[in-house]
């Protein structure tokens, strides 16, 4: 479904991605692991059209994406939940969700609203509440739900557990698994390696802008390097 080949991305003179290659098949939940500064967020921003690669290719269902505008990438079925949530704090929960479906007619948003309210009942209870007054966990639920309103085929999630209590993290990751089971292909960037691998099919490990390891979630969870670096021994 998604094929990334030999991607090179620079921030001015800084070589951020150095020949990154990986793939995500339809229906998979794939995790990108790596320490801060490894290039995970840069990778997602490039795939979403927010950064332009110096070289390399990004293909979605065989069609090139590397020079496509972000809004057009959304229209092609890709949604991105950025690090830090980036909700619209002065709008209500419902207004945030409606903005997420901007690329589609308002009349056709009913099924998606029903899906996200079933997934996150707390948002249904708070749909008239100003988004900036929600808790951190609720804001993350809203950010994910807003992306789902675009009815994506492929969902990018950047550090959805950041800053959240462990109990909320478990709930969010279980919701991500449910989204994948509902037919949405997921590429997850997550520092909580143990939980990410527990819900993923496969994973890749990034280090200083390069893929250094790949394998099934089970293989990576049992790898000594991964255990020492990301799983606490």
Tokens read off for 113? 């609203």
The topology (CATH level 3) of 1-77+154-161+185-233 is Rossmann fold (3.40.50)
195-210: pLDDT as tens digits: 899 999 999 999 999 9
Q: CB neighbours of 71 closer than 8 A, spacing ≥ 6? A: 103
What confidence tier does 106 reach under pLDDT thresholds 50, 70, 90?
A: low
- Give the mean model confidence (pLDDT) for residues 22-29: 98
| pLDDT score for 91 | 96
Residue of higher predicted confidence among 193 and 78: 78
What pTM, to 2 d.p., does this model score? Answer: 0.92
- Give the mean model confidence (pLDDT) for residues 114-138: 94
| pLDDT score for 30 | 98
| pLDDT score for 103 | 67
Closest Cα partner for 74 from 87, 86, 88, 60? 60
119-128: pLDDT as tens digits: 999 999 999 9
| pLDDT score for 92 | 97
Bridge partner list, 187: 30, 156
Domain boundaries, the chain: 1-77+154-161+185-233
Residue of higher predicted confidence among 85 and 182: 182
- Residue 82 pLDDT exceeds 60: yes
Q: Give, for 32, the enclosing helix (H) or strand (E).
A: strand 29-33
DSSP string, the chain: -EEEEEEEEEETTEEEEEEEEEEE-TT-EEEEE--TTSSHHHHHHHHTTSS--SEEEEEETTEE-TTS-HHHHHHTTEEEE-TT----TTSBHHHHHHHHTTTS-GGG-HHHHHHHHHH-HHHHHTTTSBGGGS-HHHHHHHHHHHHHTT--SEEEEE-TTTT--HHHHHHHHHHHHHHHHTT-EEEEE-S-HHHHHHH-SEEEEEETTEEEEEEEHHHHHT-HHHHHHHS--
Tokens read off for 89? 């704090």
33-66: pLDDT as tens digits: 998 889 999 999 999 999 999 999 999 999 999 9
- Residue 187 pLDDT exceeds 90: yes
């Amino acid at each position: 479904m998604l094929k990334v080949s030999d991607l090179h991305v620079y921030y001015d003179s800084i070589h951020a991605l150095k020949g990154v290659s990986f793939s995500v098949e339809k229906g998979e939940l794939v995790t990108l692991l790596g320490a801060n500064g490894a290039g995970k967020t840069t990778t997602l921003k490039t795939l979403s059209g927010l950064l332009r690669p110096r070289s390399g290719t990004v293909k979605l269902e065989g069609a090139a994406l590397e020079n496509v505008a972000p809004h057009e990438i959304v229209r092609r079925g890709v949604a991105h939940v950025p690090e830090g949530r980036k909700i619209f704090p002065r709008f209500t929960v419902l207004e945030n969700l409606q903005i997420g479906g901007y690329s589609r007619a308002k009349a056709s948003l009913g099924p998606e609203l029903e899906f996200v309210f079933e997934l996150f009942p707390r948002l249904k209870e708070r749909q008239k509440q100003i988004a900036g007054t929600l808790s951190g966990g609720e804001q993350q639920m809203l950010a994910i739900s807003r992306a789902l309103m675009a009815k994506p085929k492929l969902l990018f999630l950047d550090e959805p557990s950041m800053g959240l209590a462990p109990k909320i993290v478990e709930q969010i990751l279980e919701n991500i698994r449910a989204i994948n089971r509902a037919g949405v292909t997921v590429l997850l960037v997550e520092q909580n390696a143990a939980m990410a691998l527990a819900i993923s099919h496969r994973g890749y490990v990034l280090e200083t802008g390069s893929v250094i390891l790949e394998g099934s979630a089970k293989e990576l969870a049992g790898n000594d390097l991964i255990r020492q670096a990301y799983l606490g021994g």
